[in-house]
């Protein structure tokens, strides 16, 4: 999962390119009456710094004009600023660049650390939260950074001296740029917009609210009843939606037909959550019993927690009041406030694709649809149907029987892991061994482990990288009172992949301004590489040729599942922009309609149940601001990366070589990593070959 917390909204600015300098659009509050650069000022600066600087001078003045407002000063102040701050030769430019890179690392790094501390008790499982923790988690210490940088004219110093560039320019010319040119591009990205601090703060508060809502959305599984009143799940099993519910469903394939009733019950729970017909009383409440099919709620007849059931307790069956969609709507309304401040990318959708992913929306959508609509889907589905011995059902979208070790008894793995990792500290202590098991040298493994802290997550877990090289990354993982279970271990290995990438791409990259990867899909892809090795780390046998073919089918089926979810997430954001005055109830109906439409087009022909709404269950849709397309792209990138690693046979060295490229454009990064651009072709081709191999 991506880095959690409100500071992520500020850090996203690091990956936001502005359209080309000739096309910069002045803000409505630009200096009145000034529409062209002063010829006199240009000539004066050329006379001072030389004819060779003319293009830089003209470009820099034009870029500053685009963002200069009346409150920044009159024309005399503008000219005085330009004369004082233009770096007129290479030595001056170098000094300015180095100074800015130093101070920005400090500013962003310490802001992240302060924000991390403010959210410490809301994000970590350290006991009951205090009322003040909700207030603290909504504070973003970096919310004012860009606003302050314009106010004190730091932003204008950057805009005056370094070139803005468009995604089109970067895709066309980026391969010929030096590393310093790329670092300059990322530097100026910081000031590609002038968004007021109160707008950033509103987004941070909405993000914090959504994080808290999702982090507490647990279902007590022992309290679910079937039609005969039987309890199908073990005592004390408390699962977070959607992650743990989905993973529990996956784990039941190991039981064969015996797990079918449990899988169907989990699907019904998910449908109740999406449709908001789930009774509010059953959310994170061990005092009630619930039949998800009839929707009947009763006072529990068993005590499954430290809470005692009050005498005469009669719970209500009133459904959750569309809270899920109110939280999503609040997130939309918050980020939409940035639209007027972003004339060249005037919606969050545009900023998400063009600036965040650096991939056009049309291209991403085409990639997702190519996977969902591939004829290979039905071929793989026939293999699954043969294996499960029945017609496929909607929950089989999460079939994991191709995964190496899918038939293992998860209860035995739980016991093994709980004994090995009773606490987060135990996982931390074993991290050097785990990293060596993944293929890193002993020295590299110890060094990486020293740069990663392990914390007990209140939610499902996430990775939080550092932004200052003297700071450490944090791995947040969920550890129960009786220790870490297999689901927790699987997530922890995934998050450790994030942390290793975050460490390499911060500490070992040649320019701090290039730290990171092109977009979120890449960090997910690199984390998937780790996650795919979890059974190997537990001493399970290495896969043979048949197992390798099955792994390819697993990668394809996972990508097929999440690609549809990405299409739903994107369509929901378009609907919200088309209906900005919608109520939560109207948004709910829209999400249900979109989920049904995508299901009926790509999933109903394979999995049945027309108008199924399961694609709307992902919690990311509620709290991650149009994040879900990254997962499918991440699977495709991961597949390409894994094949490159298999080819070299050196996971550690190859992983590091890829990670230290930094934040280039996606295709340029992928060409450097694997020799091919981003796309589904490699996965589709390998899936066809895997099907033939298994025949």
In a domain, 344, yes or no: no
Q: pTM score, two decimals?
A: 0.76
In a domain, 240, yes or no: yes
In a domain, 26, yes or no: yes
Render pLDDT for 49-105 as a digit per residue (tens, 0 to 9): 999 999 999 999 999 998 999 999 999 999 999 999 999 999 999 999 999 999 999
Rounded CA-CA distance 534/437 in Å is 10
Render pLDDT for 369-389 as a digit per residue (tens, 0 to 9): 999 999 999 999 999 999 999
Residues 244 and 207 in one domain: no
- Cβ neighbours for 370, distance < 8 A, ≥ 6 positions apart: 680, 684
Out of 168-172, 461-465, 610-614, which region has the weakest mean confidence (pLDDT)? 168-172
Q: What angle do CA 301, 305, 310 make, to 5 degrees?
A: 55
Rounded CA-CA distance 441/453 in Å is 20
- Cβ neighbours for 306, distance < 8 A, ≥ 6 positions apart: none
389 φ/ψ sector (left φ>0, alpha ψ -120 to 50, else beta): left
Q: Across the chain, how many H-helices and E-strands are there?
A: 32, 7
Burial of 455 (0-12, 13-18, 19+ CB in 10 A): buried
Q: What is the DSSP string of 594-641?
A: HHHHHHHHHTHHHH--TT--GGG--THHHHSSS-THHHHHHHHHHHHH
Nearest of 451, 468, 465 to residue 102 by alpha carbon: 468
In a domain, 533, yes or no: no
Where do we find the tokens 């690392």?
105
Does the pLDDT at position 606 exceed 80?
yes
List the structure tokens of 695.
Answer: 């025949």
Rounded CA-CA distance 56/351 in Å is 27
Does the pLDDT at position 21 exceed 70?
no
Residues 424 and 573 in one domain: no
Does the pLDDT at position 406 exceed 90?
no
Does the pLDDT at position 408 exceed 80?
no
List the structure tokens of 459.
Answer: 């939610």
Residues 615 and 633 in one domain: yes
Share of the chain above pLDDT 90, in %: 75
CB 22 within 8 A of CB 121: no
Rounded CA-CA distance 362/369 in Å is 10
CB 424 within 8 A of CB 481: no
Share of the chain above pLDDT 70, in %: 94
Phi, psi of 485 (to 5 degrees): -100, 180
- Cβ neighbours for 563, distance < 8 A, ≥ 6 positions apart: 368, 369, 371, 372, 632
Report the number of distinct structural domains present in the chain. 4
Residues 45 and 118 in one domain: yes
Residues 249 and 209 in one domain: no
Q: What angle do CA 465, 349, 365 make, to 5 degrees?
A: 95
3-state helix vs strand vs coil in the chain, percent to 5: 65, 5, 30
Q: What angle do CA 19, 23, 28 make, to 5 degrees?
A: 100
In a domain, 273, yes or no: yes
Residues 154 and 287 in one domain: no
Alpha helices in 119-196 (DSSP H): 120-123, 131-137, 145-151, 154-161, 167-173, 179-189
Max Cα-Cα span within the chain: 90
Residues 373 and 418 in one domain: no
Determine the angle formed by the axes of helices 545-578 and 361-372, rounding to 10 degrees.
Answer: 130
Q: Which one of 320, 335, 369 terminates a domain? A: 320
Please give the distance of CA 196 from its chain centroid, rounded to a whole number: 24
Say what the pLDDT of residue 646 is. Answer: 82
Mean pLDDT of 647-671: 93
CB 254 within 8 A of CB 408: yes
Does the pLDDT at position 18 exceed 50?
no
Confidence tier at 364 by pLDDT (50, 70, 90)? very high
Residues 151 and 281 in one domain: no
The HSE-up count of residue 300 (CA atoms within 13 Å, CB side) is 22
Residues 549 and 663 in one domain: yes
- Cβ neighbours for 312, distance < 8 A, ≥ 6 positions apart: none
Q: Which one of 296, 320, 344 terminates a domain? A: 320
Rounded CA-CA distance 444/429 in Å is 15
Q: How many CB atoms lie within 10 A of CB 323?
A: 16
Does the pLDDT at position 30 exceed 50?
no
Q: Residue 378: which domain range?
A: 361-403+543-694
Say what the pLDDT of residue 695 is. Answer: 81
Where do we find the tokens 């009159």?
74
Mean pLDDT of 205-215: 93
The HSE-up count of residue 564 (CA atoms within 13 Å, CB side) is 28
Rounded CA-CA distance 184/663 in Å is 12
Phi, psi of 14 (to 5 degrees): -65, -25
Identify whether 485 is preceded by a cis peptide bond (ω within 30 of 0). no
Helix (H, G, I), strand (E, B) or coil at 453: strand
Confidence tier at 459 by pLDDT (50, 70, 90)? confident
In a domain, 628, yes or no: yes
In a domain, 196, yes or no: yes
Render pLDDT for 167-206 as a digit per residue (tens, 0 to 9): 888 889 999 999 999 999 999 999 988 888 789 889 989 9
Best mean pLDDT range from 212-216, 261-265, 665-669: 261-265
Rounded CA-CA distance 101/515 in Å is 11
Residues 200 and 62 in one domain: yes
**Terminal alpha carbon distance of the chain:** 35
Rounded CA-CA distance 395/614 in Å is 8
Q: What angle do CA 645, 660, 459 make, to 5 degrees?
A: 80
Alpha helices in 276-322 (DSSP H): none
In a domain, 521, yes or no: no
Residues 199 and 66 in one domain: yes
CB 487 within 8 A of CB 411: no
Helix (H, G, I), strand (E, B) or coil at 399: coil
List the structure tokens of 184.
Answer: 């300059």
Q: How many CB atoms lie within 10 A of CB 609?
A: 17
Confidence tier at 542 by pLDDT (50, 70, 90)? low
Nearest of 250, 237, 244, 251 to residue 215 by alpha carbon: 244
Q: Long-range CB contacts (< 8 A, 24+ apart) of 669-676?
A: 669/517, 669/518, 669/522, 670/637, 670/640, 671/175, 673/640, 673/641, 673/644, 674/640, 674/641, 674/643, 674/644, 675/644, 676/640
Render pLDDT for 130-150 as a digit per residue (tens, 0 to 9): 999 989 988 889 888 988 999
Determine the angle formed by the axes of helices 545-578 and 323-336, rounding to 10 degrees.
Answer: 70
The pLDDT mean for the chain works out to 90
Confidence tier at 108 by pLDDT (50, 70, 90)? very high
Residues 549 and 497 in one domain: no
Q: What is the DSSP string of 422-447?
A: SSHHHHHHHHHHHHHHHT--HHHHHH
Render pLDDT for 45-61 as a digit per residue (tens, 0 to 9): 999 999 999 999 999 99
List the structure tokens of 119.
Answer: 């959210």
Rounded CA-CA distance 318/560 in Å is 36
């Amino acid at each position: 999962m991506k880095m959690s917390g409100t500071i992520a909204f500020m850090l996203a600015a690091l990956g936001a390119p502005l359209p080309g300098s000739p096309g910069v659009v002045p803000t409505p509050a630009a200096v009145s009456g000034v529409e062209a650069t002063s010829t006199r000022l240009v000539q004066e600066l050329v006379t001072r710094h030389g004819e060779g600087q003319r293009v830089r001078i003209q470009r820099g003045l034009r870029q500053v004009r685009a963002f200069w407002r009346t409150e920044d000063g009159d024309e005399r102040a503008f000219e005085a600023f330009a004369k004082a701050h233009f770096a007129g030769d290479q030595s001056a430019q170098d000094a300015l660049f180095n100074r800015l890179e130093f101070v920005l690392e400090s500013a962003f790094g310490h802001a992240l650390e302060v924000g991390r501390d403010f959210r410490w008790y809301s994000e970590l499982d350290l006991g009951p939260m205090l009322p003040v923790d909700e207030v603290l988690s909504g504070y973003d210490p970096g919310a004012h950074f860009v606003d302050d940088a314009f106010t004190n004219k730091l932003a204008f110093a950057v805009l005056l001296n370094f070139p803005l560039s468009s995604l089109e320019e970067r895709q066309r010319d980026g391969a010929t740029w030096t590393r310093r040119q790329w670092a300059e591009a990322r530097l100026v990205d910081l000031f590609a917009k002038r968004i007021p601090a109160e707008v950033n703060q509103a987004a941070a508060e909405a993000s914090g609210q959504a994080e808290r809502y999702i982090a507490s959305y647990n279902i007590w599984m022992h309290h679910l009843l079937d039609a005969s009143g039987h309890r199908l799940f073990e005592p004390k099993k408390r699962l977070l939606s959607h992650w743990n519910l989905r993973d529990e469903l996956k784990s039941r394939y190991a039981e064969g037909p015996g797990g079918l009733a449990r899988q169907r019950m989990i699907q019904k729970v998910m449908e109740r959550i999406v449709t908001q017909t789930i009774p509010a009383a059953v959310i994170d409440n061990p005092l009630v019993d619930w039949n998800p099919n009839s929707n009947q709620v009763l006072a529990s007849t068993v005590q499954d927690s430290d809470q005692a059931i009050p005498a005469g307790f009669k719970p209500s069956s009133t459904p959750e009041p569309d809270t899920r969609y109110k939280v999503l709507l609040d997130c939309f309304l918050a980020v939409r406030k940035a639209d007027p401040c972003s004339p060249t990318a005037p919606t969050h959708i545009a900023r998400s694709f063009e600036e965040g992913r650096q991939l056009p929306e049309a291209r991403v959508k085409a990639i997702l649809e190519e996977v969902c609509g591939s004829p290979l889907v039905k071929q793989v589905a026939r293999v699954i149907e043969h294996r499960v011995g029945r017609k496929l059902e909607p929950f089989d979208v999460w079939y994991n029987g191709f995964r190496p070790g899918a038939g293992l008894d998860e209860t035995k793995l739980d016991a093994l892991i709980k004994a090995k990792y009773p606490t987060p500290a135990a996982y931390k202590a074993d991290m050097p061994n785990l990293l060596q098991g993944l293929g890193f040298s002993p020295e590299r493994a110890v060094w990486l482990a020293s740069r990663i802290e392990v914390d007990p997550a209140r939610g499902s877990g996430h990775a939080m990288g550092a932004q200052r090289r003297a700071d450490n990354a944090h791995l947040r993982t969920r550890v129960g009172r009786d220790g870490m279970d297999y689901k927790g271990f699987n997530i922890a290995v995934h998050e450790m992949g994030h942390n290793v990438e975050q460490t390499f791409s911060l500490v070992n990259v040649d320019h701090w301004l290039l730290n990171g990867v092109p977009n979120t899909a890449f960090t997910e892809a690199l984390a998937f590489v780790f996650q795919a090795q979890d059974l190997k780390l537990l001493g399970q046998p290495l896969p043979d040729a048949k197992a390798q073919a099955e792994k390819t089918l697993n990668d394809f089926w996972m990508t097929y599942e999440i690609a549809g979810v990405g299409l739903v997430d994107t369509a929901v954001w378009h609907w919200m922009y088309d209906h900005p005055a919608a109520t939560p109830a109207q948004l709910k109906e829209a999400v249900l309609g979109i989920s049904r439409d995508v299901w009926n087009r790509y999933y109903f022909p394979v999995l049945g149940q027309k108008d199924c709404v399961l694609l709307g269950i992902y919690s990311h849709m509620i709290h991650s601001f149009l994040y879900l397309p990254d997962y499918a792209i991440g699977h495709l990138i991961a597949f390409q990366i894994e094949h490159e690693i298999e080819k070299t046979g050196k996971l550690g060295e190859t992983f590091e070589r890829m990670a230290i490229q930094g934040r280039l454009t996606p295709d340029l990064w992928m060409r450097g990593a694997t020799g091919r651009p981003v796309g589904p072709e490699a996965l589709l081709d390998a899936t066809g070959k895997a099907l033939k191999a298994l025949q």
